[in-house]
Amino acid sequence: MMSQVIEVGAEIPSMKLMTATADGPREVSTDELFKGRKVVMFAVPGAFTPTCSAKHLPGFIQHASAFAEKGVDALVCLAVNDAFVMGAWARDQGVDEKIVMLADGSAMFTKALGLELDLTARGLGVRSQRFAMVVENGVVSALYVEAPGGFDVSRAEAVLAAL
């Protein structure tokens, strides 16, 4: 059963996620990440998957400076993977410091947003829908959720054009 999808004007849930560091996985609180900042967060169904690796993440890497020029303090990539996978994917994609790579290993944050995608029948378990959102001081100011199998409204170029 799907949760209620977060809406524009709603606060981001206060939760803990994980990120990979040189010293191993580190907890990151959503409060620390979103409060007092303008953040663009995009989510992918999975690290190392075809569209995510060929188009979604690379678009945000390529346009990172353009987002900064529009007043975005941070770019965040979210996936229902563990911090080790997200760290390996970041290294593989040459993310450097351009994007905060967040691991939502048990999909708790994704479910709290109401944006989970059940791919159990395809052997992938519960994942995140493909989406992007703009969060200003912890409040969702724009939300772009893809239609199943789509890659249009959450791509970097579309989000950048809407800012």
CB 26 within 8 A of CB 113: no
Q: In the block, which residue shows the tokens 């995140």?
A: 128
Return the beta strands (E) in the chain as ranges: 16-21, 24-29, 38-44, 74-79, 100-103, 116-119, 125-128, 131-136, 139-145
Q: Which of 52, 72, 115, 134 is flagged as catalytic?
A: 52
Active site residue 77: no
Distance separating alpha carbons of residues 48 and 51, to the nearest angstrom: 9
**Catalytic positions:** 52
